[in-house]
Structure 1
Amino acid sequence: MLPRELVSTVQPTAPARPAEGLADPRQQALQRALAPQLGKALHGEVLTRLTDGSFVVKVADIPTRMLLPPGARVGADVPLTLVSVQPRPTFQIGTGNPVFSEAGPPLPEGADPAKAPLLMREGATAASVARATALLQAAAGGAAALPGGAEARNTTLSRTGQAIGGVLAAAAKAESPQTAALGRAPVVGAPTGDAAGIAQGLQQAVGKSGLFYESHVAEWAQGGRALSDLNAEPQQQAAREGQRPQANDPATAQFINLQLATQEQAQVAWQGNLWPAQPMRLELGREVENEGQGDGGGTEERAWHSRLRLNFPGLGEVDARLTLHGGALQLRVSAGDDSAALLRRNQASLAGALDAAGTPLAAFEVRATGSQDAP
């Protein structure tokens, strides 16, 4: 669904190269320090400008390093809002335009800023590019929150930068944010306990949601995907009906923004019906943990996080959070009082079934939403 201006030709995918590590202890310490400020309106004091053009900004008495629009000056007060801490702390700068900047810890004494980039040197995600472009777009229009508007107004953007900035601006005009891909059909045709069938249905629903359409087009161009697979995705269905997505349409822009967020955060959200008249929401995410830091021989291990929310006629609302790490499953469930008691009584059966499937239950916690006491 990305506009034509953003995708000129489909080219072979280059091998991935290492990016700036997210597991840096200094970066993790900064994330922990800023986490309590998430969503809050803050004031940043510009302390110094580094040789690479980035700035050291003190936010809530915490020094951070970030990019600011042209015209920013040492000593200036910058209005900020912390919008995210993962995978990197991200601030909205000002209040009138969608201007974003990722933040990192200040450099160690004597470090060369040019050799320690804020953004990923290789493999930058589309959302990171979009944020940087949005920052430039705000500068081109004159960032009212900062001095030096004349310099900002003289900044020019490429057509691609203008297109990305237009998409982000259009997405901001939507009445309500789209936080998940929407399923058009139930995952399975009828209520069932067939776990394999449900898993296959979920894979199809998420895979054909349109979130990964552009990468699927690239696979098709390289002979790795059938055209019939593409025809099942909403972008192709709209094209067959003669509809051409308009990037400045809020609904289209919202979906593109969701695609960018999915790519950047390695998280997928899907909302639809598990079977007819049975709504559900599924969230999937992946993180990379570096074990054995400091010994030079650590190995990366992926932890997968899922959240499943359903409202059953008999059990009521059930909110399950799952973490799969090292081949073992950790499960935390919130449910009504009666349902929570039922789940606790059947813990042994659940553990036995998971063991038989080769996934041991490492932790099991049930919280009754009708009471204040955790189990």
Structure 2
Amino acid sequence: MLINDEIQKQLLQLFAKSSNLPKVEAEQQSASQLQLTPGQQVQAEVVAKLPNHLFLARIAGELFKMELPLNVQPGETMHMTFVSAEPRITFELARADNGKVPVTISTTGKWLSSLMNSVIAQESSSSQSLSPILNGPPTDTELFAVRLKEAMTLGGLFYESHLAEWARGDRQIAQLLVEPQGKLSRRLVNPDPDLLQKGNEGNGILPKSIAEEATASKPAAGFIADPQTLPIIKDQLATLNSGVLIWNGQAWPEQKVEISVREREADGSSPQEREWETSLRLQLPALGEISATLHLSGAGLNIVLQTDDARTAAILLKGLPVLKERVDEAGINLTEMVIKR
């Protein structure tokens, strides 16, 4: 995603124009847009753990980046009390001894929250898949992996990066048109096949007739993007701010799954070494809620499975040898595999 500081400033103006509230009031009334009042009890769901003792939490349907004084893990839920929105959004965190610890949202998090709340009457479409990836439980894991990758990467979140790939000749226009922004592209009534071929060559330059002879309407005056893409831009900014890619969808009908991916600082001495952490959470009919955290580094793969149910933990423990065998077959070095309750 290639969104520089200047573009972000323009986006802030764009969202302010699309809101029913004046720009100043939108900043001051960010808490009321969250439908929170001082003293209100809320639940904070920890979505991901970030560097520098920061956490990504979901409160009242919105994502916030905050520093928590407790050692919590993704998937845990905390009880908080909303204190104030000014000068910074602040909550009080309830502890087991009934004491309370103030939790303050970062300035960047507050700005992003206000910006995100200015997008009205639109549902997010880039990070949430409405259609199931598969028609039923997977029988072909390779196919499932391909479909999952497509769902996470072709939802519009990486559209600008894909445009850059097309400009380098690494991606064709037909691939761009699959994404939501590409589907909004203006089309020719009777395109010249030769011109389309030139566009598919991916040299970064569209033929003049393709750029000019279009039938769809342009974005409204004053908008730097099609209003239909605002939910996607919201997700892009949230990902940039948090450093965590979050995807919600259906693996197969009625099987919801939530996946978060983030890059971690490498433990090794090589600056080129990259480490990734993926968290997956789903509710299974027979096993109940299960969360899995996968940490991939140069040394190999670390897997942590977590459940609150003793019976489920026993079933998972029994299946560990099979899981280890599958990981070995994939050519991945399994460094550790743990089940937690």
TM-score, scaled to structure 2: 0.54
Higher mean C-alpha deviation, range 303-312 or range 329-338: 329-338
Query: 258, 276, 282: which is aligned to 1:310?
Result: 282
Provide the C-alpha distance between the structure 1 equivalents of 2:218 and 2:252, rounded to a whole number of angstroms.
29
Query: 333, 343, 351: which is aligned to 2:316?
Result: 343
CA RMSD of aligned residues (A): 4.1
1:363 to 2:308 alignment: no
Provide the C-alpha distance between the structure 2 equivalents of 1:250 and 1:98, rounded to a whole number of angstroms.
23
Aligned 8 A contact 1:329 1:362 in 2: yes
Q: How many residues are paired up?
A: 226
The 1:287–1:329 alpha-carbon spacing in structure 2 relative to 1, beyond 3 Å, is same
Q: CA deviation at 1:342?
A: 0.3
1:213-252 → structure 2 map (5 Å cutoff): 213-239=159-185, 244=219, 252=229
- Name the structure 2 match of 1:22: none
Provide the C-alpha distance between the structure 1 equivalents of 2:67 and 2:327, rounded to a whole number of angstroms.
42
Q: CA deviation at 1:291?
A: 2.7
Which whole-Å deviations, capped at 9, do the CAs of 1:247-286 have from their partners, x for residues lacking one? 7999854431321332455432111111222211111111
For residue 176 of structure 2, give the secondary structure of its aligned residue in structure 1. helix
Residue type of the alignment partner of 1:188: L
Query: 327, 331, 336: which is aligned to 2:303?
Result: 331
Q: CA deviation at 1:320?
A: 1.0
- Name the structure 1 match of 2:59: none
Query: 291, 310, 315: which is aligned to 2:268?
Result: 291
For residue 52 of structure 2, give the secondary structure of its aligned residue in structure 1. helix
The 1:250–1:363 alpha-carbon spacing in structure 2 relative to 1, beyond 3 Å, is farther
- Name the structure 1 match of 2:17: none
- Name the structure 2 match of 1:260: 237
Provide the C-alpha distance between the structure 1 equivalents of 2:139 and 2:339, rounded to a whole number of angstroms.
22
Which whole-Å deviations, capped at 9, do the CAs of 1:4-49 have from their partners, x for residues lacking one? x949xxxxxxxxxxxxxxxxxxxxxx935x88xx7479xxxxxxxx
Q: Work out the percentage of aligned pairs sharing the same amino acid.
A: 29
The 1:313–1:257 alpha-carbon spacing in structure 2 relative to 1, beyond 3 Å, is same
Which whole-Å deviations, capped at 9, do the CAs of 1:107-152 have from their partners, x for residues lacking one? xxxxxxxxxxxxxxxxxxxxxxxx8xxxxxxxxxxxxxxxxxxxxx
The 1:248–1:302 alpha-carbon spacing in structure 2 relative to 1, beyond 3 Å, is closer
- Name the structure 2 match of 1:31: 52
1:1-375 → structure 2 map (5 Å cutoff): 6=7, 31=52, 39=66, 79-80=87-88, 91-92=106-107, 98-99=110-111, 169-174=114-119, 181-239=127-185, 244=219, 252-263=229-240, 265-289=242-266, 291-292=268-269, 298-335=270-307, 336-368=309-341
In structure 2, the gaps of 5 or more residues are 9-50, 56-64, 69-85, 92-103, 187-215
Q: CA deviation at 1:211?
A: 0.1
Q: CA deviation at 1:208?
A: 0.7
Q: CA deviation at 1:239?
A: 4.1
Aligned 8 A contact 1:179 1:269 in 2: no
Aligned 8 A contact 1:172 1:250 in 2: no
Q: CA deviation at 1:287?
A: 1.9
Provide the C-alpha distance between the structure 1 equivalents of 2:87 and 2:304, rounded to a whole number of angstroms.
38
Residue type of the alignment partner of 2:291: D
In structure 1, the gaps of 5 or more residues are 8-29, 42-77, 84-88, 100-130, 132-167, 293-297, 369-375
Provide the C-alpha distance between the structure 2 equivalents of 1:236 and 1:6, rounded to a whole number of angstroms.
20
The 1:252–1:225 alpha-carbon spacing in structure 2 relative to 1, beyond 3 Å, is closer
Aligned 8 A contact 1:2 1:247 in 2: no
For residue 338 of structure 1, give the secondary structure of its aligned residue in structure 2. helix
The 1:225–1:333 alpha-carbon spacing in structure 2 relative to 1, beyond 3 Å, is same
The 1:326–1:316 alpha-carbon spacing in structure 2 relative to 1, beyond 3 Å, is same
For residue 215 of structure 1, give the secondary structure of its aligned residue in structure 2. helix
For residue 296 of structure 2, give the secondary structure of its aligned residue in structure 1. strand
Which whole-Å deviations, capped at 9, do the CAs of 1:210-259 have from their partners, x for residues lacking one? 00111212222332211111111111224467684867999854431321
